[in-house]
Structure 1
């Protein structure tokens, strides 16, 4: 009986744990909307997010913090607010940290305020250095500080405002999808006739460090072709898909391109 109870409690505990997808230091930094070295001043429980949030109710923790150095924030945000929210529930990957300590935290903007969870924190690539479902105390971030500053400099220097058009040049039915340099994907568009066109726009505050991918799928949904290219700067490119379902860059205006690129 005791063994069965222990197994049951263990199963419930595992089910209620926060589980995060492992990603590299660079991925975590680039996918975060904000990254800050901060000091926690006060923790307040049973807090509601501003109206319009996807998390209604008093099920959040609010931290009052002092930002020591903000390494990343949206370009339309002049100053990162000193109030940060996180879920209070363990299954929602809420983040519990101590007042008086300094941390390197990352997150997104939710309803106009900084929001953070355990997943996506900027941690060392060495998985043995810390558990992934964790946050990094600043005093333990010594080896990472150079890379954090480097990522911030690189992203700050990459002004990007890229528009990608994907246009059908065939009567064949197919699907197409665009993956931007920050990992953000477009819808999987369906094309059924020639000259149909869809557009994906990566704005200046969404820059990333990876390649762009333009992927096509045949009528059955199987991947047909994928074009990989580096796009930077400000401009637009057009990819056309012919009978072979291969996306080919046919037009480029302004954008810096490396790979199989159309002439300016």
Structure 2
């Protein structure tokens, strides 16, 4: 009961934090950061242009994401939207990722940079042909294989999923707490997020349990992270001041 009470006290504060203009950019959580290496515009353009059809229409990417995974996911999104096969490409991308998780040999192959580019491309083309993947997906995987970026394919799939969700007006929020978020608090959290991202969209909440925290929440959505958890056994009260300090310090 005490833990549930802490969660209830946390949600109104989260609403105030998310809607407040008082936190400047310098006070944003330090955990909002790019997790992937960079890919130069020249490398990106050279690699993907070889496998993509000429541009016939302007397609706006719904989210700005960075790094290797962001660049490749954005390129695939644009190609898939132009060809009107967004859902199919997403399904095929996830199929390959799941296959790599189930097969240690395949997973090792994707990470082994000692394999020549020609061998990687031939293997990927054979896999795509057997799976009857679309040309968009096949061409994309061939580019990723040739450039030695197969090691990033799972992260690319995650970023692509973010783009497809944004395309559909969906936002996924990850909530970490010490106990499952009760239905009433989950609804309140969704309402808070809708106030921020705009009503008319859909919010999907995925809960994670972390027994190392004593109370509070860690909320992640988009590329934002708000950590308002209590992790020290020395902290016995859940105060507004403590939570704001955590936000400002990027804890």
TM-score range, shorter chain: under 0.3
Which structure has more strand as a fraction of its residues? 1
Q: Which has the higher helix share?
A: 2
Larger radius of gyration: 1
Higher relative contact order (CA 8 A, sep 6+): 2
TM-score by length of 1: 0.21
